[in-house]
Amino acid sequence: MNSIKKTDHFYLIDGSGYIFRAYYALPPLSRKSDGLPTGAVSGFCSMLFKLLEESRSDDSDNKPTHFAVIFDSARKNFRNDIYSEYKANRTEAPEDLAPQFEYIRKSVKAFNLPSIELINYEADDLIATYAKKIIEAGAKATVISSDKDLMQLVSDSIRLYDPMKSKVLGEKEVIEKFGVKPNQVVDVQSLAGDSSDNIPGVPGIGIKTASELINKYKTLDILLKKAEEIPQNKRRETLLANKDKALLSRKLVTLKDDVPVKDDL
């Protein structure tokens, strides 16, 4: 990304997240001529337009200079090769939503914005990769998403902006959600799992217990290495018996930041 200037500020928009937010936020709408569902398209465009308008009126040092909308390419990706049950509990997209995907992508081009997706990877991985490239070039990156899984990216250089709450999420908000700092979120998720993505985690350990353990032992690796020292019998036995699930879950929740993407946004 040699063309990036240090004065640039990129908004990396979670397009897939926008789609589902838009779909469930509005009542069903359709085109009169042929009955084509249009509710998600309409909602998506409204949300994107609102973000762009807010950005244009921003006169602060954080005013964005570049935008990119990033999508999941398909339901299955490299994580399904690691764990075949990954997201297996999710149903297919609603019948009236699936036909709108094509038009949503076309709408992004109509806004004259880059629309990015890559087979075998999720939008979150592409966002993580581009964010890393941007900050390595000395520029700023803001991730536009309500997805908690992206909280692991929060740092002094990468902001997370929740468009539903019109709020910037920083370290304070990450600690409120996960009980740990952003660089420890992956370890907490590895222990707690995530039922919405069918990530197993360690049975019986939720976010609260996971954050207590990670705050005490600092990392998942140290925790698992010292699991035999845990005083609570049940917790110790559970961790010792499920080390493999914790390590598997870590592979699933960790966002890849080295996806082979095109340099230009």
* Domains parsed from the chain with CATH numbers: 9-169 (3.40.50.1010), 177-253 (1.10.150.20)
Per-residue pLDDT tens digits of the chain, which is 265 residues long: 558 899 999 999 999 999 999 999 888 778 777 888 899 999 999 999 999 999 988 888 889 999 999 999 988 999 999 999 999 999 888 999 999 999 999 999 999 999 999 999 999 999 999 999 999 999 999 999 999 999 999 999 999 999 999 999 999 999 999 999 999 999 999 999 999 999 999 999 999 999 999 999 999 999 999 999 999 999 999 999 999 999 999 999 999 999 999 867 7
What are phi and psi for residue 24, nearest 5 degrees?
Answer: -85, -10
For 78, what's the count of Cα atoms within 13 Å in the CB-facing half-sphere? 16
Q: Measured between alpha carbons, how far is residue 104 from residues 21, 52, 56, 71 in Å? A: 13, 16, 22, 10
Cβ-contact 51, 166 below 8 angstroms: no
- The token pair that represents 182 in the structure block: 């952003």
What are phi and psi for residue 34, nearest 5 degrees?
Answer: -140, 5
Nearest one of 190, 160, 192 to 173, comparing CA atoms: 160
Cβ-contact 250, 192 below 8 angstroms: no
CA 200 and chain centroid, separation: 18
Q: pTM (2 decimals)?
A: 0.94
Ranges of H-type helices in the chain: 15-25, 39-56, 78-82, 101-110, 123-136, 171-178, 185-192, 207-217, 220-225, 233-241, 243-253
The pLDDT tens digits for 153-169 are 999 999 999 999 999 99
The pLDDT tens digits for 136-150 are 999 999 999 999 999
Neighbours of 8 (CB within 10 A): 18
